[in-house]
Amino acid sequence: MYTADDRNIHSVDEVTDGERLTLAMWFTRDSSHDEDSNLISRLSQCFDICVARLHLLGFDVHSLQEEDRSLDASEQLMGLVQLAKGGELLARKFTNVLHALQVVQFCHWKASELKTSKVGSDAVEEVKAMSRPQLETINALNAVFLPDEGLVTTTFGYLCSNGEEKDSLNLTDASSAIASWEEYTCKLLKELLSSLPQWETYQTLHKVESG
């Protein structure tokens, strides 16, 4: 157990670029504060977190695995998927639903910066009108993974607190963001790899001045 007292002195470094993500966890012996039952109850409603977050950001998922009858719905999300919105489909194929979510969240995060960049003709041409079979596939997935939109909104409603920002994102934005997202993730990977020697020596990814 890691105690937050003088037995475990710790600190954090100032964030000068990017963002800091913090996961707060705590433990108690008081059963009145047990939240497991509430969490299990919500998870038992069987909505997919990735599909739900994409939905709240204004996008739906089209699986390219629907013709494989041996796959159940959850397995379809682990294969190639496409993004859809407002009767249109992005031709670009994503490795799986998590890949699609990462790009959309990056687009949402960097929306103001991406809006100022020029949209290429390739990004526009990638957006196609959706066919009826494609719409039926999307509706079938939503029926499985979004059975209760009210529950999804209650759980992740903070994502769409700004309705105008949500509606401003479209498939062309997502297509344009893919290259920026790939560049960003490659940069993070290079930084991580360059920090490994630091980790092996000091067990930290931050630079330590040797005295």
Stated length of the chain: 211
Q: What confidence score (pLDDT) does residue 101 get? A: 92
Q: What confidence score (pLDDT) does residue 97 get? A: 92
Integer-rounded Cα radius of gyration of the chain: 21
In this predicted model, which residue has the larger pLDDT, 143 or 169? 143
Tell whether pTM > 0.85.
no
Q: Which of 72-76, 84-88, 177-181 has the highest mean pLDDT?
A: 84-88
Q: What confidence score (pLDDT) does residue 191 get? A: 84
The greatest distance separating any two alpha carbons of the chain, rounded to the nearest whole angstrom, comes to 68
**Which of 46-50, 77-81, 131-135 has the lowest average pLDDT?**
46-50
Tokens of 84: 């859809």
Tokens of 198: 């630091």
Please choose, from the candidates 123, 128, 134, the residue with its C-alpha nearest in 3D space to the C-alpha of residue 174: 123
In this predicted structure, the answer to whether residue 174 has a pLDDT above a threshold of 80 is yes
In this predicted model, what pLDDT tens digit does every residue of 17-75 receive, in sequence order? 777 777 767 777 777 666 666 555 555 556 788 888 898 888 999 998 766 656 677 78
| Residue labelled with tokens 């705590």 | 26
Percent of the chain with pLDDT strictly greater than 70: 66
